[in-house]
């Protein structure tokens, strides 16, 4: 395990003016936050506090992994298209003209956000929407939308 994995979700806190020295663990999953501070003094120094911080982090991650991952994506009240990840976008150009698109967004397997836009001017409103829905479906492997 390299140092970046070893310190995943763990940050060093050193505030000499407040006599605060320790490690902070912070995680967030599905909107739920998990955080705990491990002070050097309480755990016999920086090394001991780091060991305890890693132990707690690993325990929380193991508990989270044991919970079946439900689909997070669902239609929001703010969604006017009725399809998760598909939205109507207006882009204003430097010349002041506005361009309208239907946009599909999703996360790729590598965890990167992907996006594709279809011009309403070029395809018409209905066809641009259909293309965005299809792009979203293909991008997610048919799992959503």
Q: Tens of pLDDT along 92-126? A: 888 889 999 999 998 876 668 889 999 999 999 99
Which pLDDT score is estimated for 112? 81
Give the pLDDT confidence of 60-80 residue by residue, as tens digits. Answer: 999 888 876 655 555 566 667
Return phi, psi of residue 42, to 5°: -70, -30
In a domain, 81, yes or no: no
In a domain, 77, yes or no: no
In a domain, 8, yes or no: yes
Domain count, the chain: 2
Which residue in 10, 65, 8 sits closest to 38, CA to CA?
10
Do residues 108 and 58 both lie within one domain? no
In a domain, 74, yes or no: no
Do residues 95 and 131 both lie within one domain? yes
Return phi, psi of residue 51, to 5°: -60, -45
Q: What's the predicted TM-score (pTM) here?
A: 0.48
Residue 53 pLDDT more than 80?
yes
Instruction: Supply the CATH number for residue 22's domain.
Output: 3.30.160
Q: In what order do the strands lie in the sheet with 20-29?
A: 10-15, 20-29, 32-39
CB atoms within 10 A of CB 132: 27
Q: How far apart are CA 43 and CA 50, in angstroms?
A: 9
Instruction: Domain of residue 22: give its range.
Output: 3-66
In a domain, 73, yes or no: no
Give the pLDDT confidence of 16-51 residue by residue, as tens digits. Answer: 999 999 999 999 887 789 999 999 999 999 999 999
């Amino acid at each position: 395990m390299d140092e970046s994995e070893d310190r995943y979700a763990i940050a060093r806190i050193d505030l000499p003016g407040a006599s605060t020295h320790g490690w902070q663990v912070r995680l967030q999953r599905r909107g739920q936050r998990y955080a705990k501070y491990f002070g050097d003094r309480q755990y016999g120094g920086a090394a001991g506090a780091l060991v305890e911080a890693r132990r707690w982090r690993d325990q929380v991650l193991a508990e989270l992994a044991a919970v079946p991952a439900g689909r997070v994506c669902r239609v929001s009240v703010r969604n006017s298209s009725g399809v998760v990840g598909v939205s109507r976008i207006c882009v204003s150009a430097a010349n002041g003209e506005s361009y309208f698109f239907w946009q599909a967004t999703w996360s790729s397997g590598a965890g990167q956000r992907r996006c594709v836009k279809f011009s309403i001017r070029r395809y018409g409103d209905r066809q641009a929407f259909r293309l965005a829905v299809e792009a979203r479906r293909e991008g997610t492997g048919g799992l959503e939308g």
